[in-house]
């Protein structure tokens, strides 16, 4: 399942993994069942090199300029940004809530860290999401194994460093099993300071 | 094998290279 659909061009800088961009948008009044979630999420393109990433990314709307209830997802190629995907099933995510106005800059920093392999947790990272909501925006980074505390702590510490978060900022971790159970991405999270 | 690591500064430099346009 590591079949690459795109390859780096001549002279380009290859990425450790290929990544795929996804976009989703939903009407907030409608319940987010897993079926309607899958119908609302669209694959928009894959990249294999740093240069391909910039060409693609430069044509995307900045997340902070999106309206309504929408998400950009950047996941390793072959991993669907869904709790149920084989690679995500035993995983979870770190959540960072952002006040309005910060999403574009923080999103860029989190994905550059991911593409550049700054997390140093082997194969653990699955992808990153920026979620545009009405009151606040939310960044998350998903990993494969929610009960591996060495990994989750290292991801948290790397996030603090690459996003330059104050040491007392609140970060929350939520397992995908819990998200499936309450059918919600961001409710009832375990808070960690 | 070897892991391909890039820091933020390097990635931002690649943005302005002709290959990325």
Look at the alpha carbons of A121, A6, A129, A183 in this order and tell me if their dihedral is positive or negative. negative
The residue in chain A having the minimum alpha-carbon distance to the alpha carbon of residue B7 is A116
Which site among A15, A49, A50 would you substitute to test the B interface, given the most B Cβ atoms closer than 10 Å to its Cβ?
A50
pLDDT level of residue A62 (50, 70, 90 thresholds): very high
Helix (H, G, I), strand (E, B) or coil at A108: helix
Separation of alpha carbons A137 and A127, rounded Å? 17
Q: What are phi and psi of B10, to 5 degrees?
A: -65, -45
Per CB distance under 8 Å, which residues of B are interface residues toward A? 3-8, 10-12, 14-15, 17, 19-21
Q: ipTM value, please give it.
A: 0.92
pLDDT level of residue A1 (50, 70, 90 thresholds): very low
Residue A28 has pLDDT above 60, yes or no: no
Mean pLDDT, range A18-40, rounded to an integer? 79
pLDDT level of residue A89 (50, 70, 90 thresholds): very high
Answer yes or no: do B3 and A16 touch at CB < 8 A: yes
Contacts of A50 in chain B (CB under 8 A): 6, 11, 14, 20
Answer yes or no: do B6 and A11 touch at CB < 8 A: no
Q: Count how many residues are written for chain A.
A: 193
Answer yes or no: do A12 and B19 touch at CB < 8 A: yes
pLDDT for A96-120, tens place per residue?
A: 999 999 999 999 999 999 999 999 9
Answer yes or no: do A115 and B6 touch at CB < 8 A: yes
Percent of chain A with pLDDT over 70: 92
Separation of alpha carbons A153 and A186, rounded Å? 19
Per CB distance under 8 Å, which residues of A are interface residues toward B? 9, 11-16, 50-51, 54-55, 58, 109, 112-113, 115-118, 162
CA atoms within 13 A on the CB side of A186: 16
Q: Determine the pLDDT at residue A33.
A: 67
Which of B6, B8, B20 shows the shortest C-beta gap to A54? B20
């Amino acid at each position: 399942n590591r079949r690459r659909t795109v390859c780096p061009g001549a002279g380009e800088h290859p990425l450790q993994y290929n990544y795929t961009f996804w976009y989703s948008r939903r009407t907030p009044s409608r319940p987010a069942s897993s079926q309607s979630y899958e119908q609302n999420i669209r694959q928009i393109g894959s990249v294999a090199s740093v240069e391909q990433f910039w060409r693609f990314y430069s044509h995307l709307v900045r997340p902070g300029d999106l309206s309504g209830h929408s998400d950009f997802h950047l996941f390793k190629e072959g991993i669907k940004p869904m709790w149920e995907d084989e690679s995500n099933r035993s995983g979870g995510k770190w959540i960072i809530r952002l006040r309005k106005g910060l999403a574009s800059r923080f999103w860029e920093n989190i994905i550059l860290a991911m593409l550049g392999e700054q997390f140093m947790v082997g194969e653990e990272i699955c992808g990153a999401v920026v979620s545009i909501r009405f009151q606040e925006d939310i960044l998350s980074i998903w990993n494969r194994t929610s009960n591996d505390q060495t990994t989750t702590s290292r991801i948290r510490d790397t996030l603090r460093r690459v996003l330059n978060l104050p040491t007392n900022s609140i970060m929350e971790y939520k397992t995908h099993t819990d998200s499936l159970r309450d059918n919600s991405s961001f409710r009832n999270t375990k808070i960690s300071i | 094998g070897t892991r391909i690591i890039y820091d933020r500064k390097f990635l931002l430099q690649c943005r302005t290279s002709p290959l990325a346009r």
